[in-house]
Structure 1
Amino acid sequence: MAEKTALLLLQMGGPDSIAAVEPFLMNLFTDRDIIKIGPSLLQPFIARRIVKKRAPKVAQHYREIGGKSPIRELTDAQGQGLQALLGDDYRYFVAMRYSRPSTLEALAAIKKAGIQRIIVLSLYPHYSKATTGSSLNELSRVLSQAGNRFQVTCIDRFYDHPIYIKALTEKVREGLAQFPDPSQVQILFSAHSLPQSFIDEGDPYLEHIQTTVRLVMEQLGNASPHHLCFQSKASRVKWLEPSTEATLKRLAGEGRKEILMVPLSFVSDHIETLHEIDIQYAEEAKSLGIERFVRSPSLNSSPLFLECLADLVRRVVTP
């Protein structure tokens, strides 16, 4: 019988209850891979003040989407689907960066299962030090403290993988099918923003995002006008532009009436799709006079997306 291989899925995570919102935000704002607030010794104290101020509003947003993030269940479904495609020699585990199960808990479960070989698969298609980089740094820290010596292989990006592009294009087409004349639709690719300083320092995230957009539009045959914008700015420093809000206002000012939002850098539904796009941006679009505002479905457990993940694993097992 072949030895099992662990598939360790890295994801951001999210609160599984309203009570978990504050701890989730605290974990986020104390991660210096994302944001450095003063000296490292003081960051937890400053972060706590920020979180106390933000938590009530964020908690209300989670109430409006059912009282929690669905990302754990959706990631489990992706893991189950991936495991089914790869067969009995594989077993999936999940490591959430800012919620549970933590990286430490995931590795403890792998060790308890008697598995030595781990294929680490980041569920962020576009590499950034703020997402995949942070998760891998946490993995490295935990591994360095572990008594067990694992054999680890990492897959840290797949922004241009042909099956990923095909899966994303399929979802865009599903969205376009909700309009009478897709050629009149403005496609807004909305990616999670990052501080501009990250890009200036060499982070490849923006280049990866731009490549994904180009490849998807090539698959679509450039049938509709498209735009790239950025959402979820989280501080006062300069972030990637244009913002999604500014892009909606510009298009409305040009008399555009039909918008398809395509969430990029998100492979599962969570607060940025279910609340920020589906509620906040939808309301903004309506107030601006946009008559038809649609979001393309998230990848979640799309068969094509699961096949992409399986292909990524097969390629590192048999280069």
Structure 2
Amino acid sequence: MLHHGQPRTPYYATKHLAEGSHYYYKIPLWLTSRVTQLYWPLAKKVNFCVDDYKYSENFSHLVSTYSKVLQGYLNELIPEHRSFYCTYAFLYDEPAISRTISELIRKGIQRLILLPLYPHYSCFQTGTMLNIAVKALDEQTKPLSKDGICSMDYRVRTMSHVSFRCSTIDRWSSHPVIINFWYNLLCTELKDHDSLLFVAPQMRGYNSSGYMREIWTTCYRLMEHMNEAVPWKLAWFSGWDQWPATTLESINLQLYFLRREKRYRTLVVPIALIMPSFESESLLPDILQNEGVDLLSPPGFSPVLAHGFAELIKNHLMGRRASSQLLHRCKFCFSSRCLLREAMLAPKEIPFNEIFLKNTLGNGELIQQQKRLQISA
């Protein structure tokens, strides 16, 4: 289970922002660290969220609970796949993704499934985590070669008996779990409200339009499941880690449109959030405090969500592949890590005598090879 994590102190918050910009904008870390230090006195939103977080339960405790419950569900639901071991890792917190993968490989595994805890795919959230994960796998393993065919998703640890297949559930917003999750929460709240305002953090650049379409589709499917009970709108806001702040925030504008239609009892639903976070616990309450609306935050733990995770993995093990969108290259993306992610998590069988793969991410042969594969596909 993969997540970005949440910093508990200003020091880790600046580190989080710097590394996030480094991974996303492909800018050297020393430069993003310097810019973050200069920006920090103006980062009132981040300071507010971090300061408020010290009164909340540690986010890692919640993710740990989900991983333990999910492990029990999987061992009961599909015992034919032997015993499952579920763990979690963070991109900017501990336990780190690279270290966790190293420990799993050292212990020995037969199948590794990466499950991002973001239902809607975005390069900023899911993409960066998967890139770091495949980088760690590439540094510690090699692709399996059999009968002259090289399978990038089957990994072998050299000088060891460990071999395994790796895969990911890169996006799961179309699975019924996200609809059932919010439907159960809305059933008890809707009778006291006459309209819904769905809100989600805005993503910029790198195929952000695909992320926005997924969010809108989830809202539409949820309202269809509820028989279009009340009017609804979709608005965007800047997440706590989006800096500089985007100008596309539209919560106030969409509330104005609802009130123009005489809808004054609006319930705000953070449709992209499935767990308590800086956005649901600090940022959105602050934005909405003078708007006269109610906020429906995700609960600390949801059995519906835990069962949904188990169903996702069961379907994946039964043969459901990663989405075809994982092969889609963002415009102007030149990252070799994205090429490696495509090769490993959305693989094609490659004649072994045509590929030269070193365990170095910036290897020019790898980049050229994957470009040729993309063109031939």
Report the TM-score when normalising by structure 2: 0.69
1:269–1:206 distance in 2 versus 1, CA, 3 Å: same
- Which residue of 2 is the match for residue 136 of structure 1? 130
Instruction: State the shift of 1:98 in Å.
Output: 1.9
Instruction: State the shift of 1:40 in Å.
Output: 7.3
Instruction: State the shift of 1:299 in Å.
Output: 5.3
Among candidates 103, 110, 114, match of residue 108 of structure 2: 114
Q: Distance in 2 between matches of 1:106 and 1:194?
A: 28
- Which residue of 1 is the match for residue 16 of structure 2? 24
1:47–1:75 distance in 2 versus 1, CA, 3 Å: same
- Which residue of 2 is the match for residue 265 of structure 1? 272
SS at structure 1 position matched to 2:124 = coil
> Given the alignment of the two structures, is residue 313 of structure 1 paired with residue 322 of structure 2, yes or no?
no
Q: Distance in 2 between matches of 1:44 and 1:15?
A: 16
Q: Distance in 2 between matches of 1:282 and 1:65?
A: 18
**Structure 1 stretch 17-26 or stretch 88-97: which is displaced more?**
17-26
Question: Structure 2 matches for 1:99-178, cutoff 5 A?
Answer: 99-147=93-141, 148=157, 150-177=164-191
Instruction: State the shift of 1:68 in Å.
Output: 6.1
- Which residue of 2 is the match for residue 219 of structure 1? 225
Matching residue's letter, 1:168: W
SS at structure 2 position matched to 1:166 = helix
Give the paired residue count: 291
**Conservation of the 8 A alpha-carbon contact between 1:171 and 1:297:** no
**Structure 1 stretch 260-269 or stretch 230-239: which is displaced more?**
230-239
Instruction: State the shift of 1:272 in Å.
Output: 0.3
C-alpha distance after superposition, 1:107-151 (max 9, x if no partner)? 123134332421111111111111111111111111111253542
Matching residue's letter, 2:315: R
**Conservation of the 8 A alpha-carbon contact between 2:70 and 2:307:** yes
Gaps of 5+ in 2: 76-81, 142-156, 158-162, 320-377
Q: Distance in 2 between matches of 1:311 and 1:252?
A: 40
Larger Rg: 2
**Conservation of the 8 A alpha-carbon contact between 2:2 and 2:117:** yes
- Which residue of 1 is the match for residue 342 of structure 2? none
Report the TM-score when normalising by structure 1: 0.81
Q: What is the root-mean-square deviation in Å for CA atoms of aligned residues?
A: 2.7
SS at structure 2 position matched to 1:91 = coil
1:72–1:165 distance in 2 versus 1, CA, 3 Å: same
**Conservation of the 8 A alpha-carbon contact between 2:280 and 2:297:** no
Q: Distance in 2 between matches of 1:209 and 1:67?
A: 30
**Structure 1 stretch 70-79 or stretch 117-126: which is displaced more?**
70-79
C-alpha distance after superposition, 1:15-42 (max 9, x if no partner)? 14455333223322322x2x456x7773
- Which residue of 2 is the match for residue 275 of structure 1? 282
Q: Distance in 2 between matches of 1:129 and 1:276?
A: 22
Instruction: State the shift of 1:45 in Å.
Output: 2.9
Q: Distance in 1 between matches of 2:276 and 2:116?
A: 16
